[in-house]
A and B are shown apart, each in its own frame.
Chain A
Amino acid sequence: MDRTTVALTLAAGALVLTALPVTAQDKTLTLMTHDSFYLPEGALESFESEHGVDVQLLPAGDAGAMVNQAILTADHPLADVLFGVDNTFLSRALSADLFAPYRSAALAEVPADLQLDPENRVTPIDYGDVCLNLDRAAFGEDGLPWPETLDDLAEPALAGALVVENPATSSPGLAFLLATIATYGEDGWQSYWADLRDNDVAVTSGWEEAYYGRFSGGSGEGDRPIVVSYASSPAAEVIYGADPAAAESPIAAIEPGCFRQIEFAGILRGTEEPELAGALIDHLLSPEVQAELPLAMFVYPARAGVELPAAFAAHALVPAAPASLDAELIDAKREAWISEWTDIVLR
């Protein structure tokens, strides 16, 4: 055989090999998630061995893209359970009738204000807050004035200090816009953003560019001392930083402008394993998994009374009264708000 024949034979062999179906072992349960989903190895193992089931993870883009894929495939679902639909996309998912109702016994341990669906089609698993983050080095005695309210961001003293994400392309960007709408009302936020624009607010398309590219604090490499990020970012800067035992984070999250995102899981209609699917939701709410959530995804557990890791408790902010808006109102108005925002800030 000459070289070409060898190569072609190898190619054909490789194709046949990879096309062979994987031999079936136990039952499998597929969990569809967004890209940011992560649990440490072992967090699902006790569930798998107890129920004799193999849990397959299926990341499906960001939260919005994931919900849209679930809607498109509703007739032939890709998974049994979906995790990660948040309060900004909840109403779209519910009106597409994606989920079968399920009431987990563990819900008794979850504060009522996180339980947004009275019919229990979705179950709250965790929550986190999008908040303004400050570069500590830029504020203080000879530096900039520490902002106490959202209004302060529009003051000349903080001109050119803030970088936000575009709500049309970024989920924290949308959360911050919603926080301003909740704060100033449906008719008042427009003039606030016009003030921010006049105060030279910078807009990026996503969180990575805003945080790493434009923000000056922590691991950011830019020149703006205020960024829209998460309440847990100060903790992440310490945990991933040069000194994981540092007493103070180089950045600080502040209370004004925080917006709460609650993440839910639900059983996808059409699953052939509704009982196992329910058991998986119970497992996600179990103390064992709930205690892993803070360091795995930098969010707070939905279950009350779960102990937080030390670095998390020391450096992350838990806003006392984060802004929130009705999920149905968000879904009905999102597009109109975004295009109005675009006209005010970008045109």
Chain B
Amino acid sequence: MDRHRPALSRWGALLAVPPLAFLALFFLWPVANILALGLAPDGQPRLGHVLETWAQPYVLDTVLFTLALAGLSTLLTLVLGLPAAWVFARFDFPLKRPLRALTVVPFVLPTVVVGAAFLALLGPRNPLDALGTALFGEAFPQVRLDGSVQAILIANVFYNIAVIIRLVGGLWAHIDPRAEEAARMLGASPARTMWEVTWPLLRPAIISAASIVFLFTVTSFGVVLLLGGPRDVTLEVEIYRQTAILLDLPTAAALTLLQMGGVVALLWFSARAQEDLAVQQRLRGSSETARRPRGRRQRLLVALVLTGTCLFMFVPLAVLVERSLAGPGGYGLAAFGGLLEADPRTRLPVAPWHAIVDSLAFAALTTLLAGTLGMLAAVVVGYGRGWFSRGVDTLVMLPLGTSAVIVGFGFLVALDTPPLDLRTSILLIPIAHTLIALPFVMRSVVPVVRSIDERMREAAAVLGASPRRAWREVDGPILARAGLVGAGFAFAVSLGEFGATLFIARPDTVTIPVAIYRLLGQPGAANFAAAMALAVVLMALTTSAVLLIDRLRGGGPQPF
């Protein structure tokens, strides 16, 4: 296939300025400041301490455990996510849109809430254990998974499966099925067609999505603390402890260097692999490629994948809905009614619905900011080649692989002089959310940009279009659609973000996850039910937002 692509002109590289300036100011500068405090507390670099820290035996254990956990989580997410991505991209079935929108919900739920659902399903008195005891009496062996590595793995897959379904599915839905049909016609088995035709076309998107999942699990913090045993310590947990609890900045800096070094190396190679593996192809409209499953075997397979995915993803969500309805006085909507007014007994100074309004405002702002900056970065990375575009790609991704606490404390020491004293400004909330949302916008667009067939632009040129017009007619609509996938993620990231917001949120501007956290900080059934009701509202908001964005994106025939 043709490997030519329109090279990014020198002027085009200027598009990278806004995203790079944003990252330099709100990511590199704060992180450099806090690292400098740790590495050279009195102006003299103390590299000896870094080496001493790295040489401690617990550091090696922690690094190995972190890598194994993230690697295994990514692998499992791929194994479960790819079949689901296939079904959602290639087939039409009833309720497809709402189901696909629902798969994003776990991605936004705060870990405290997911923890509650998983404890109910995996912890003491879980349904499986109860059933066994009911059937076989007390002799039935106790079944429980909470406090184990298995529980962390299950939760990580639960959280990240949407990344695979949407990022890989985003490309898959546009791949022309005729190549596969031709292979089948020539006698290739379905498995061989998948391996030799589909897989090479999808590889860049899979690497792109898998690296996001890997980074997310490397830096996942709440899941490990909540569901893991007390012995399960990842690098991220240790960095948090050294920074926020012990204020041992030299040790925290040494560990952060280790984490960031590994992440940069991984990103550099994954950027390179994506570039090398990209294949230009004729992309089709998603409604042209999806069809109803044909034949008994295919129907069975699709039904199997769908049922499995839905059970795995929706049972924990159903538990949350059940908990939100079960108030202290029996089942009812009392907890939802309570969201309308401030309860003077709880720790929220405002009625919980304020949290809903604030969350939506921050999410809208984040979507605009991350959407704009992310599209610019995606154009530079997607059309460019070589070290510059790879560098931009790595830098945009890096915040996902950096401890939130390091960035947060970096803000405190770096942004402390006017006019940039933003430390107490609520503007920091959309800024922090944008750091996390940017990679999703960029990675939703880049694989698609790289797959655009050059011959389509040539055809447009032959028909008399100027290069600019050809770009606008051919690339523009494809970019806009891919950008909307990213925008949906940006919105969801902002709705669900918790760690950074907790540090920045003011009492009168609380997001939903922060409100949930505050409610669960006190004992009592009323607090628990209100927190669960807010979680259900968060689920509903996310589903509707994603549905709306999917509708905007449409599935109609592409203009080619």
Contact = CB atoms under 8 A, between A and B. Distances in A.
B528 A219 contact: yes
Interface stretch (A122-130, A234-242, A283-291): A234-242
Q: Which of B120, B423, B507 has the most CB of A within 10 A?
A: B507
B412 A73 contact: yes
A128 to B, nearest CB: 12
A107 interface: no
A233 interface: yes
A41 B347 CA distance: 11
Q: Which of A57, A208, A221 has the most CB of B within 10 A?
A: A208
B526 A240 contact: yes
Interface in A200-248: 202-209, 211-214, 218-219, 221-224, 229, 233, 236-237, 239-242
Contacts of B507: 57, 59
Interface in B460-517: 480, 502-503, 505-507, 517
Given A73-B416, A223-B124, A209 B521 contact: no
Contact of B524 (A207, A240, A296): A240
A160 B412 CA distance: 44
B123 interface: yes
A133 B115 CA distance: 22
Nearest to A345: B230
A76 B225 contact: no
A52 interface: no
Interface stretch (A30-38, A136-144, A187-195): A30-38
B523 A36 contact: no
B115 A209 contact: yes
Interface in B116-141: 116, 119-120, 123-125
A320 interface: no
Q: Which of B120, B243, B246, B523 has the most CB of A within 10 A?
A: B523
Contacts of B228: 205
Interface in B516-530: 517-518, 520-528
B291 interface: no
Given A30-B424, A73-B413, A241 B369 contact: no
Contacts of B96: none
A166 interface: yes
Interface stretch (A61-69, A98-106, A147-155, A178-186): A61-69
A347 B125 contact: no
Interface residues of B, number: 62
B296 interface: no
Chain A: interface secondary structure?
mixed
Nearest to A39: B349
Contact of A242 (B328, B344, B412, B480): B328
Contacts of A11: 368-369, 371-372
A73 B349 contact: no
Nearest to A209: B226
Interface in A11-54: 11, 14-15, 18-19, 30, 35-36, 38, 40-41
Contact of A71 (B124, B247, B527): B247
Contacts of B522: 236, 240, 298
A64 B480 CA distance: 46
Interface string A78-111: 1000000000000010000000000000000000
A314 interface: no
B524 A236 contact: yes
B241 interface: yes
Contacts of A347: 231
Interface string B15-38: 000000000000000000000010
Interface in B278-322: none
A35 B517 CA distance: 10
B57 interface: no
Given A10-B368, A57-B507, A78-B423, A72 B245 contact: no
A58 interface: yes
B417 interface: yes
Given A166-B230, A346-B231, A240 B523 contact: yes
A76 B505 CA distance: 20
B345 interface: yes
Nearest to A171: B245
A218 to B, nearest CB: 6
A219 B531 CA distance: 13
B412 A72 contact: yes
Contacts of A233: 523
A61 B368 contact: no
Given A35-B518, A78-B423, A335-B246, A69 B409 contact: yes
Nearest to A40: B344
Nearest to A77: B416
Given A40-B344, A212-B520, A233-B523, A14 B230 contact: no
Contacts of A71: 247
A64 B349 contact: no
A219 to B, nearest CB: 4
28 contacts: A10-B368, A14-B365, A36-B347, A40-B349, A56-B424, A58-B506, A64-B244, A65-B244, A68-B247, A69-B412, A75-B416, A168-B241, A169-B245, A203-B230, A211-B523, A212-B116, A212-B528, A213-B115, A213-B119, A219-B528, A221-B119, A222-B124, A223-B125, A236-B523, A236-B524, A241-B328, A241-B524, A335-B246
